[in-house]
């Protein structure tokens, strides 16, 4: 595989400045995403606080094993991502490709489990407005829990899908063309930051969805 000399863009003095600026850009973007999901969690906390009993009743139907498997998968994918970056810094291209592939694979597994969980949710009649039967004592706010569930996990899944796309882009486009080298691997670091952030979102969604009303 060829290795190309990468030149910094016109507005940058050197590659180091370009790479550092790209990472700062991703951090700024992560700030906006924190506020985006944080606003959603705001509505969650508001309604959970207002209707604790109804939320607890509704949340019992959340499929804990799916959520737990998924948190395991996504935390592991953060590990594989960071090992990929280590490999890039070392110039170990084969390892880089393998770790990236593992990351993408774990992401896809997450989505598969999520999809299966949605199928189970449908069978449990917890899909608001589409297929929803309120359990006794749960109405009306129990449905709000499930609205939050689908909006939150749906948005998270969209972000994760984009992340898988980015990982594959790095792997199949940038790495293949030799544009990720031990001298300059900032695009990979930027995707890594995004990936770990998507992991972080799930870390907060997990207790919000799966650990309510279990005792």
Restricting to residues 155-194, which ones interact with another protein according to CB under 8 A? 155, 182, 189, 192-193
Q: Annotate 162-197 with DSSP letters as a single string.
A: HHHHHHHHIIIIIITTT---SS--HHHHHHHHHHHH
3-state secondary structure of 126: strand
78 binds another protein (CB under 8 A): yes
> For another protein, which stretch binds (CB under 8 A), given 6-14, 111-119, 159-167, 170-178?
6-14
23 binds another protein (CB under 8 A): yes
Smallest separation (angstroms) from another protein to the CB of 33: 7
Select the residue interacting with another protein from 86, 112, 122, 137 (CB under 8 A): 86
35 binds another protein (CB under 8 A): yes
Residues in the chain: 215
Residue 177 CB partners (closer than 8 Å, separation 6+): 1, 2, 4
Select the residue interacting with another protein from 14, 34, 165, 173 (CB under 8 A): 34
- How many chain residues bind another protein (CB under 8 A)? 78
3-state secondary structure of 132: strand
């Amino acid at each position: 595989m060829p290795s190309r000399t990468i030149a910094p863009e016109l507005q940058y003095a050197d590659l180091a400045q370009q790479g550092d600026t790209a990472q700062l850009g991703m951090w700024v973007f992560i700030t906006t995403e924190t506020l985006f999901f944080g606003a959603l969690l705001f509505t969650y906390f508001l309604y959970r606080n207002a209707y604790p009993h109804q939320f607890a009743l509704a949340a019992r139907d959340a499929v804990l094993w799916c959520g737990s498997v998924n948190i395991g998968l996504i935390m592991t994918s953060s590990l594989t991502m960071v090992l990929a970056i280590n490999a890039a810094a070392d110039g170990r291209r084969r390892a880089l490709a393998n770790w990236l592939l593992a990351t993408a694979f774990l992401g896809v597994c997450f989505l598969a489990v999520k999809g299966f969980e949605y199928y189970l949710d449908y069978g449990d009649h917890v899909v608001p407005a589409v297929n929803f039967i309120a359990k006794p004592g749960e109405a009306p706010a129990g449905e709000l829990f499930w609205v939050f569930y689908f909006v939150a996990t749906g948005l998270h899944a969209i972000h994760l899908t984009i992340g898988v796309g980015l990982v594959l882009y790095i792997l199949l486009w940038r790495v293949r063309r030799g544009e990720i080298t031990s001298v300059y691997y900032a695009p990979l670091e930027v995707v890594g930051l995004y990936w770990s952030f998507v992991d972080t979102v799930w870390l907060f969604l997990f207790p919000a969805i799966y650990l309510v009303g279990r005792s």
